[in-house]
Amino acid sequence: MDLDRLRLVVVEGPIGAGKTSLAKRLAEYLGADLLLEEPENNPFLTRFYEDMARYALPTQLNFLFQRVDQLQSLSQLDLFRRLTVVDYLLDKDPLFARLNLSDDELRLYDKIYAHLRPLIPAPDLVIYLQAPVSQLLDRVNRRGVLYERNIAEGYLARLNEAYTRFFHTYDDAPVLTVNNAHLNVVAKPEHFELLLRRITEMRGGREFFSLGDA
């Protein structure tokens, strides 16, 4: 895969997988624009983790509109536009909806999503980060974000499984699935270099990377 030909790279994974850290590192190395999700700007998120049933719909819709607003500017094809690295994939937004919304709420969400999805371009590459649930929970606890303090291990386990199912069938862009259990692209430059090499070696639409394979 030729890095110079990429225009939109997405880093994805469940809460605590390390997607924002990798997105920042990639953008810095590639001289790319960086587009980050802004969960701190969702006024419902803290209340969602305290009472999921009550606040799932406003939390979900707030994220959906926020993500569409951020990504819509990228929909205009511009061969001279710089590469953009994003730490979320809009196509996985329904994953959270199906996990958290009631049937009636989900029908409403699906109608709104169907109207907004065509506005957003498909990525050139998706890097999907995987890690064990115990490690995800440990990372969430160690970073000490206030609105994440009530995330339960059971919720992370369901979310992790939902991500696995989603990316098993996702085919709108090439996907590099990365075992992030022992990868540290921030503190260990050699890990980042191995990941970059693996990206440039990609030839298929669905490939896998683990430190043990390098």
For 110-159, the pLDDT digits (tens) are 999 999 998 888 899 999 999 999 999 998 888 878 778 778 899 999 99
The residues with which 126 forms a beta bridge, in sequence order, are 10, 175
Tokens 């064990």 appear where?
Answer: 132
Tell me which CATH code domain 3-213 carries.
3.40.50.300
Question: C-alpha distances in angstroms, 125 versus 31, 71, 163, 200, 206?
Answer: 17, 15, 17, 11, 10
| In the chain, where the domains are located | 3-213
| In the predicted structure, residue 212 carries a pLDDT above the cut 70 | no
Looking at per-residue pLDDT, the higher value among 73 and 106 belongs to: 106
Reference 127, options 53, 21, 5; nearest CA is 21
CB 170 within 8 A of CB 126: yes
CB 119 within 8 A of CB 72: yes
Across the range 153-166, mean pLDDT stands at 94
Q: Are strands 33-35 and 8-12 parallel, antiparallel or unpaired?
A: unpaired
For the whole model, what pTM was predicted?
Answer: 0.92
